[in-house]
C-alpha cells in the first residue's frame, strides 16, 4: 500500500512532538548517522530560525556567496561596472536545479545555481555552481542592474524593429494599392478599346437596307 509523503510528514511531525526523550535521541542519532552532512546542516539551520524560511523554486533569481575558487577568475570592479555585483564577495545567480538527478525538489539542502560572471572579453556568462540552500538569498530579477539594462536595450531594439516593420508594411501597402490602380486603369483602357473595336465591327458588318420597290 502506498502512503503519501504528506501523510508520512504529518505522522513524523506528531511523533517528534510526543516522543519520549530516549526515542527522540534515537531519531536524532539516526539522522546524524545516515543523513548527508549538508542535509543535517539544513535541518539544524531551519529549526533554529524564528521566522519562516523561504524556499527557492526553479528559475528563481538569487544572491550567493563567491565560490572559493572563483575569486581569482573574476574582477569585482568589472562585475560592478556591468551591474553584476550585489555586494562584496557575492554574486547574482539563477536556480536551475537541485543536487539530485530527479525532478526539482525545493526542499533539497543544496541547489544548482547558474552564477552570473564575466568572461575574458567582459561579457556576461553563466557558470553552474552547487550552493547550500541556506546560503542562497532569493531576490527579484529586476534588482539586477545588468538585466534591467539588458531589458531596456531589448525593448528599444524591439521598438526599432516594430517601427521598421510598420514602415515596410506601409510601403508594401502603397505598392499594392499602386498596382491595383494600374490594373484598374489597364482594365478600363482595355474595355474602352474593346468597345471601340466592337463598334467598328458592328458598323462594318451592319447589313445595308435594300429598297425593293425602287429596284
Say if 22 falls within a structural domain. Answer: yes
Q: Does 131 share its domain with 69?
A: yes
Among candidate residues 142, 162, 181, the one where a domain is terminated: 142
And the C-alpha cell for 160?
526599432
Question: Into how many domains does the chain fold?
Answer: 3
Q: How confident is the model at residue 14 (pLDDT cuts 50, 70, 90)?
A: low
And the C-alpha cell for 206?
451592319
Q: Nearest to residue 114, comparing CAs of 131, 98, 126, 132?
A: 126
Cα 147 off chain centre by: 12
Among candidate residues 142, 158, 176, the one where a domain is terminated: 142
> Average pLDDT of the chain?
80
Of 213 and 62, the structure prediction assigns the larger pLDDT to 62
Kindly tell me if the per-residue pLDDT of 169 is higher than 70. yes
Give, in degrees to the nearest 5, the angle at Cα 30 between 28 and 32. Answer: 70
Kindly tell me if the per-residue pLDDT of 193 is higher than 70. no
Distance of alpha carbon 116 from alpha carbon 79, whole angstroms: 9
Say if 113 falls within a structural domain. Answer: yes
Read off the pLDDT of residues 81-105 as tens digits, 9 standing for 90 and up: 999 999 999 999 999 999 888 899 9
Say if 165 falls within a structural domain. Answer: yes
% residues pLDDT > 70 (the chain): 70
Q: Does 90 share its domain with 100?
A: yes
Longest dimension (CA), the chain: 148
Distance of alpha carbon 12 from alpha carbon 157, whole angstroms: 55
Of 170 and 129, the structure prediction assigns the larger pLDDT to 129
Distance of alpha carbon 167 from alpha carbon 142, whole angstroms: 33
> What's this model's pTM, rounded to 2 decimal places?
0.63
Q: Does 79 share its domain with 116?
A: yes
| Number of Cβ atoms within 10 Å of the Cβ of 150 | 13
The residue segments making up the domain with residue 150 are: 144-204
Give yes or no for a contact between 127 and 121, defined as CB atoms under 8 angstroms apart: no
Say if 54 falls within a structural domain. Answer: no
Query: How many residues does the structure list for the chain?
Result: 215
Kindly tell me if the per-residue pLDDT of 21 is higher than 60. yes
Read off the pLDDT of residues 60-77 as tens digits, 9 standing for 90 and up: 999 999 887 888 888 999
Q: Does 127 share its domain with 68?
A: yes
Among candidate residues 113, 142, 171, the one where a domain is terminated: 142
Q: Does 138 share its domain with 155?
A: no
Q: How confident is the model at residue 171 (pLDDT cuts 50, 70, 90)?
A: confident
Kindly tell me if the per-residue pLDDT of 212 is higher than 50. no
Distance of alpha carbon 9 from alpha carbon 165, whole angstroms: 57
Q: Does 154 share its domain with 108?
A: no
Amino acid at each position: 500500500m502506498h502512503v503519501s509523503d504528506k501523510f508520512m510528514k504529518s505522522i513524523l511531525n506528531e511523533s517528534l512532538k510526543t516522543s519520549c526523550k530516549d526515542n527522540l535521541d534515537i531519531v536524532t542519532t539516526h539522522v546524524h548517522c545516515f543523513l548527508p552532512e549538508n542535509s543535517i546542516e539544513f535541518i539544524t539551520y531551519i529549526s533554529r530560525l524564528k521566522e519562516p524560511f523561504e524556499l527557492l523554486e526553479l528559475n528563481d533569481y538569487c544572491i550567493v556567496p563567491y565560490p572559493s575558487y572563483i575569486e581569482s577568475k573574476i574582477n569585482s570592479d568589472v562585475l560592478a561596472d556591468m551591474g553584476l555585483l550585489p555586494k562584496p564577495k557575492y554574486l547574482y545567480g539563477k536556480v536551475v536545479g537541485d543536487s539530485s538527478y530527479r525532478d526539482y525538489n525545493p526542499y533539497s539542502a543544496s541547489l544548482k545555481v547558474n552564477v552570473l560572471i564575466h568572461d575574458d572579453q567582459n561579457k556576461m556568462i553563466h557558470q553552474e555552481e552547487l550552493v547550500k540552500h541556506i546560503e542562497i538569498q532569493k531576490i527579484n530579477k529586476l534588482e539586477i542592474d545588468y538585466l534591467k539594462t539588458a531589458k531596456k536595450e531589448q525593448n528599444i531594439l524591439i521598438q526599432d524593429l516594430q517601427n521598421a516593420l510598420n514602415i515596410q508594411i506601409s510601403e508594401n501597402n502603397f505598392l499594392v494599392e499602386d498596382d491595383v490602380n494600374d490594373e484598374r486603369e489597364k482594365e478600363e483602357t482595355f474595355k474602352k478599346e474593346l468597345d471601340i473595336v466592337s463598334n467598328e465591327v458592328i458598323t462594318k458588318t451592319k447589313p445595308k437596307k435594300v429598297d425593293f420597290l425602287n429596284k
